Structure 1
Amino acid sequence: MIFDIRPGDPASPVILHVPHASRELTAEARASIMLGDEELAEELDNLTDAHTAEIAARVPGVWEFRNRWSRLVVDPERFPDEREEMLAAGMGAVYTHGYAGRRLRSSDPDRDRRLIEEHFRPYARGMTDLVGERLAAAGRAIVVDVHSYPREALPYELHGDGPRPPICLGTDDFHTPTAIVAAAQAVFPGMLLNTPFAGCYVPLEYYRRNNMVQAVMIEIRRDCDPAVVGEQLTAFVKAIS
């Protein structure tokens, strides 16, 4: 299985999406990574979204969609058909380079296509299906994308020179209503919008097509207390549900 779903209240529209919490690698992914154990551990330390699984687990009543594997297998939030900045940096759907530009894998388009077919597409379909189920059950779906980031910018961050608040709220002008932003501002002290990361995750089937699919990204600075953030996230979810 590529992902795990924790069922929530049948009437809840909220899905906590936790894509980067795992450190686990498939045997094929580990074999393709050209690093020793210590170097690999360093990559995982920097690229795994620390505390996000723990924080999400503290929030009752919501649906949770969690990636079972590390983003070093496949990153489910890097759309493979897009020509984007992160692809140019070797961090597209299948990473060839790590957090500081270190080479992780050789270039192998056939391997990348296989990983995308075996991991990315089933993951995207699972998330799309869950969003559709919440739409049918609750009349709307709210994807809360849960990430974390370090106090100091990592080398791979292409826009990491701005403020790094305790909570960064990533928004989209089509999928993030002002009421969701206001609810976040009420429960997350010191929160800033779209710095150091911007945007939020919406399955492509719904992106810019259905505004009843709402979304926001919660980026948590890693020195924040997970218990406190869990309480804040619970209050936020209650306010938007």
Structure 2
Amino acid sequence: MQTKLNTHKILTKKIILHIPHSSTKIPIMEGFVVDEAALKQEIGKLTDWFTDDLFYSASDEMIIADFSRIFCDPERFTDDSLEIMAQYGMGVLYEKNDDGKRIRTVTPDLRERILRNYYRKHHERFNRAVNEQLQLHGKVIIIDCHSFPNHPLKRDLDQNSNRPDFNIGTDPFHTPQQLTDVSVDFFNRLGYSLGVNRPYSGSIVPMDYYQNNKNVQTIMLEVNRKLYLKEGSTEKSDNYSEIKRITNEFIKTIKTCW
């Protein structure tokens, strides 16, 4: 019986895949001051296209936001004083687009309704998934799953035009050196260029555990969209299946860090 229980615990170890920016849905149009064409253009620019499929893993826990980041960004702090992008009008609820033009007016009432019905519900699911793995194994590994454009957006803090094929983001408290080393070795062996916290940095941890539980570990993986989309479009390229295979192998490799 003891052997069976131990085997069960091994089989239920799951990486948590956090996928915040793959959706294009705008659940509530209230507050938006631009037309559908302008919104569609911004969604095309900022969506992490197909990351819900690129990072798909049947054996792991996938926490996918079912609303566009243009509507509500689950990776932003709700406290604007803590969120660096809030100064650009792109805090948890975007009010400006990448060009700095106003796209939405957010009243206090609208803000509270969106945070309550979308942001907090998303993070409740995220917290439950983390807590479940902690209860089962005393440890959890999160992969924060993203893609990024090959050319900097106007609001990007890093404007270096020489962007890598992949990027990993780390957190000084929640990312052990082993996760970084394994990731760097993985992409070196494949011959792809890799940024470490470049062009984007950090990796998400639920606020309940942020900077207070080192057993909640995290690393971000971002894929340069030039690798899997046709140039200048949001359509899959012929290389899509290969990049999906690589992200799947990366997930398996990170599992070896248990």
Comparing 134-143 with 43-52, greater Cα deviation is found at: 134-143
User: How do residues 158-197 of structure 1 correspond to structure 2 at under 5 angstroms?
Assistant: 158-161=157-160, 163-188=162-187, 189-197=192-200
Matched residue SS, 1:130: helix
TM-aligned CA deviation for residue 85 of structure 1 = 2.0
Size of the aligned set, in residue pairs, is: 230
**Rounded Cα–Cα distance in structure 2 between residues aligned with 1:110 and 1:158:** 30
The CA deviation string for residues 80-127 of structure 1, in whole angstroms up to 9 with x for no partner, is: 124132111111111101122121112422211221122111211211
The answer to whether the Cα contact below 8 Å between 2:47 and 2:68 also exists between their aligned partners in 1 is yes
Give the conservation status (yes or no) of the 8 Å contact 1:95–1:105. yes
Distance 1:60 1:233 in 2: 13
Alignment correspondent of 2:16: 15
Counterpart residue number, 1:3: none
2:228 aligned with 1:228: no
Report the alpha carbon displacement of residue 13 of structure 1 after superposing the two structures with TM: 3.2
User: For residue 201 of structure 1, what is the amino acid of its counterpart?
Assistant: I
- The answer to whether the 8 Å contact 1:162/1:195 transfers is no
Q: Residue 151 of structure 2 contacts residue 161 of structure 2 at CA under 8 Å; is this kept in 1?
A: no
Displacement of 1:22 in angstroms is: 0.4
Give, as a single letter, the amino acid of the residue that structure 2 aligns with 1:55.
L
Structure whose alpha-carbon radius of gyration is higher: 2
Which stretch shows the higher mean deviation, 143-152 or 79-88? 79-88
Amino acid at match of 2:122: Y
- For 1:107 and 1:211, the matched residues in 2 are separated by 36
The separation in 1 between residues aligned to 2:13 and 2:243, in whole angstroms, is 21
The residue matched to 1:223 in structure 2 has which SS?
helix
1:200 is paired with a residue of what secondary structure? Answer: coil
Q: How much does 1:45 deviate? A: 0.3
TM-score normalised to structure 2 length: 0.84
Give the equivalent residue in structure 2 for 1:40.
Answer: 39
Runs of 4+ in 1 over 4 A off after TM superposition: none
- The residue aligned with 2:63 is 65
Structure 2 unmatched ranges of 5 or more: 1-9, 229-239
Structure 2 CA distance for aligned equivalents of residues 134 and 24 of structure 1: 30
Counterpart for residue 232 of structure 2: none
Cα distance change on mapping 1:101 and 1:11 into 2, 3 Å: same
Deviations 1:36-89 (A, max 9, x none): 1211110100111113122012x3422111011111221111111241321111
| Structure with higher RCO (Cα < 8 A, 6+ apart) | 1
Identity %: 30
Contact 1:153–1:161 (Cα < 8 Å) also in 2: yes
Residue 208 (structure 1) aligns with: 211
Pairing 1:70-149 to 2, within 5 Å after superposition: 70-83=68-81, 84-149=83-148
Q: Which residue pairs with 2:154 in the alignment?
A: 155
The C-alpha deviation readout for 1:193-235, integer Å capped at 9, x for no partner, is 0001000000011111111110011111101133223222222
Residues 82/36 of structure 1: CA separation in 2 closer, same or farther (3 Å cut): closer
What residue is the counterpart of 2:233 in the other structure? none
SS in 2 for 1:32: coil
Compute the displacement of 1:160 (Å).
Answer: 2.9
Cα distance in structure 1, aligned partners of 2:132 and 2:42: 36
d(CA) in 2 for partners of 1:42, 1:82: 26
Aligned counterpart, 1:6: none
TM-score, length of structure 1 as denominator length: 0.89
- What is the aligned-residue RMSD (CA, Å)? 1.7
The answer on whether the counterparts of 2:14 and 2:59 sit within 8 Å (CA) in structure 1 is no
Whole-Å separation in 2 of the counterparts to 1:177 and 1:122: 29
**What amino acid is aligned across from residue 207 of structure 1 in structure 2?**
Y
Give the match for residue 4 of structure 1: none
Any idea what SS the aligned residue of 1:219 has? Answer: strand
